[in-house]
Amino acid sequence: MNKEWLITLIFFFLGAVFISSSIDFNYFNLIPELVKKLIEPITQGILP
């Protein structure tokens, strides 16, 4: 197998492992909470 494909596959599996472990950790449910937390700062300071 050539080196180019090796790099592609390493990145591919690394990404897949990260995504699947984030599902294990229930991160998909964490995102809404985080977004709520983040909405506040983005609007802060722009109200008269």
Shortest Cβ 9–another protein spacing (Å): 8
C-alpha torsion sign, points 17, 18, 19, 20: positive
Shortest Cβ 3–another protein spacing (Å): 9
Residue span 7-26 as binding mask against another protein, x where in contact by CB under 8 A, dash where not: xx--xx-xxxxxxxxx--x-
Burial 5-20 (b: 16+ CB within 10 A, else e): eeeeeeeeeeeeeeee
**Would you tell me which residues interact with another protein (CB under 8 A)?**
2, 4-5, 7-8, 11-12, 14-22, 25, 27-28, 30-32, 34-35, 37-48
